[in-house]
Structures are given as structure tokens and as C-alpha cells.
Amino acid sequence: MDTDLTLLKTIFTDKEIKVNDKIIYNNKLYILYNKLQDINTYSIYLTIIDLQNYRILKNFKYPGISSCFSDEYYAILYDYKTIKIYNNNNYKLNNTIILEYNFFLNNSGKYLKYENIEKKISNVTLLNINNVIYICNIYSKLYSNYEIMILNTIKRTSYEFLLEISPKFYKGNNSIIIAKSDYMINYNVDNNTTHDEYYKYFNLNIYGIKHYGYRLKNDLSENLFLYHEGYYTKPIKISNTEFLYDNFTYNTLTKEYKLMNLEIQDNFYLLDIKDYININFSNMINNYSFVDMNTIYVYKLSFDNNDFEFIKNNKMIMDNDFQNIDLNIFNGDLKDVYYQMLLNNIIIKLSSKILSDDSYNNLFSKILDKKDIIEYIFTNKLILD
């Protein structure tokens, strides 16, 4: 598995996203996310994808700030004092948790006041650790520091401390890992304590001096990880259990480091496809595909004519070059994986607002008499809560 690999991709939403959480459930990918374009409007999206053919099955939109999964439910922080619990099987509201902050005791022995919390929160992450929902709050800057608050919604406890920078939160073993640019803080959820952990491969000589982006060697046009949390401040959040820091990754569950020998060119680390797959190990959804932001990547080693046809037509779709697209692609079978992947990309393009009128009309005219495609477009309309 190396330079002969090729990535085939299909998108499931039209905007760059912030992934809250994801699970594989009944051979389907469930993914909860915010759209970066409307992150200030407090909306949570849930997309469900069939992993047999990557068909988008359902799209939901909920009012909410952050979200997470357990094995049987998904939780949405509706507002700063309400969590709504939905069933993974039928998507129905199962329970509503009201957060009575006046009963939350912090590590200083004081009870919280909701009025003080609501005014200062600037960022929220919902995490499920051992089937307990934790709310990780970052407060507005206090002098030269950020106030961090981690709430246990079952025990109704709060752990609070100050940091000089705004961190990212990750799931650990019975812990929440708070990743900073120079070290990690391990918060033990069982005994309500913290200890510091320093990066094994952290290079003090280059810290804060140079910033490198990431590109694939065979596609220098794309700036990888650009919309991920921590792209400019380090580390870069790959998932709730993995981050990327310069030329190494760290898994917060297994505590495993992976060091990469990466070439640098024009202020970019150059990745081969194997590197990119390894970085996204925690985002794997089966033995030959992974999800990164709003894109599912399928990787292959050997090729046939169908592969080349997919690559050719998919490039035209992603480049909005609909005038020259091969009309034969619209005569596919919805059970065919390649056709379904292309169809996803087409309908996301049609539903987005990035196409010019000419491009939109050009594309829509080619599928107007394709009943299966029109039905697929309408079945993928957002279901609003």
C-alpha cells in the first residue's frame, strides 16, 4: 500500500463542517456536525449513510450547539441548560435533560450560577465518556487566560481551571484530554483530578517559529486539514481521539504516537496517500474507506475501466465542468457504488449555492428526465426537528 494507491471521493454535504461525533451503527455511518458557514446560528446536522454503497439515507437538522453519540442514542445540547436525547433506531426524542446549574458543585466547593455561565461561554464541546455526557466549556478570556469548565451531567459536578490559550478536547481512557500547543492536560473523570503530559516528539526549536500546511504529493492543489480545528494553532484535530502535530499523530485512547518522515516543500508537508490514510486511522469506516470532514474517501490499489471513468467524470463534477460531462453516467444503477458516489456529488452540487445559474441549469437539464435522480434529490431534503 503506497504510491500506487488512488483515492476516490464522494461528498455528503455542501459546506465545510466541524464534526462533533460519528459512529458505525447497523452498517451505516452516523455523523453529527455543525456547518462552518452557519456555526453561529446554533444548528446541528445528522447525516446517515449506507456503507454498502455510500447512499445518503437521511439528513436531519436540529437546533443545538454541540452533540455526541452513545451506542444507542445521540445527544444534542439544545441550549446551555437543555440536552435532548434521541434514539439511534427511530430518531425520535427519547428524553430531555434539564441542567440545573444551581445544583452543580465545582472543585472549589461552590455551586454554579447559570446566569454567569451563559454570558461567558465562547465554545462548547459535548463528549460521551463511559455513557456519561460531559459538557466542556471554554469561557471568554479573563485577563490573559481562558476559563475552562468540564461538567459531569450525571454527578452534577464541575471542574474548573485557567489556561492561557483556547484548547481542544479529546476522549481518553476514563479521561478527557485537553490538548494545547505545547503539552496536554489529562482530566481523570473518576477522581476529578488533572495532570500534565508532554508531547514525546515536540520540537521546542520549531515551536511557534514555522507553520507548515499539508498537501498530497499527487495533488498539490488541495490544502489538507485547512478547516480542521487547530490548523493554525496546533495540534490539528483529526477526530475526537486523534490529533496531528507537525510530523506525528497521537491517539488519545491508545496513547500511541505515530512519527512520519515527511518531505517539506514550499512550507507544506507532502503526504503520500498512505500517510493520509494513517493520519485518518481513527476516521476509518471500513477496510477501504475513511471520512474526513464532509468527504468519504475510498482507496484502491488496482484499476479497471470503471475506475478511470469514475475519476474522469468525478473531476468534472467537482470542477463544475458539466458541459463536457459524459451523459452515460446518468444511466447507471443506483445499486452500483460508483454511480451512487457520483450521484451524491451531483445532488450536493445542485443543492449548494456555489453554482452559477448557467452551471446549475446545465447540470439540471441533463438529469431532468432521470426519475431515479430526481427522487433521490427530493428524498435527501433536510428533515427539520
Q: Which amino acid is at 204?
A: L
pLDDT > 60? residue 11: yes
DSSP character at residue 302: S
pLDDT > 80? residue 55: yes
> Which three cell numbers mark 336?
452500483
Per-residue pLDDT band at 353 (split at 50, 70, 90)? low
**pLDDT tens digits, residue range 361-385?**
777 777 888 888 888 888 888 898 8
| 259 to 199, 247, 343: CA distances (angstroms) | 12, 6, 38
Residue 98's H or E segment, with its range, is strand 93-98
Sheet strands side by side (includes 17-25): 17-25, 28-35, 43-50, 56-63, 383-384
How many whole angstroms from its chain centre is CA 52?
Answer: 21
Please give the pLDDT value at position 92.
Answer: 96
Write the CB contacts of 228 (distance below 8 Å, at least 6 apart in sequence). Answer: 236, 237, 238, 293
**How far is residue 71's CA from residue 23's CA, in Å, rounded to a whole number?**
8
- Residue 276's φ and ψ, nearest 5 degrees, are -65, -40
**Residue pair 352/359 in contact by the 8 Å Cβ criterion:** no
DSSP character at residue 122: E
How many whole angstroms from its chain centre is CA 196?
Answer: 26
3-state SS, residue 91: coil
Q: Which residue has the higher pLDDT, 289 or 324?
A: 289
**pLDDT tens digits, residue range 93-142?**
999 999 998 899 999 899 888 776 766 677 899 999 999 999 999 887 66
Please give the pLDDT value at position 206.
Answer: 46
Average pLDDT over residues 235-258: 95
Average pLDDT over residues 337-349: 90
**Residue pair 222/215 in contact by the 8 Å Cβ criterion:** yes
Please give the pLDDT value at position 203.
Answer: 60
pLDDT > 90? residue 47: yes
- Residue 367's φ and ψ, nearest 5 degrees, are -115, 5
Residue 338's H or E segment, with its range, is helix 337-351
**pLDDT tens digits, residue range 271-284?**
999 999 999 999 99
Average pLDDT over residues 141-152: 83
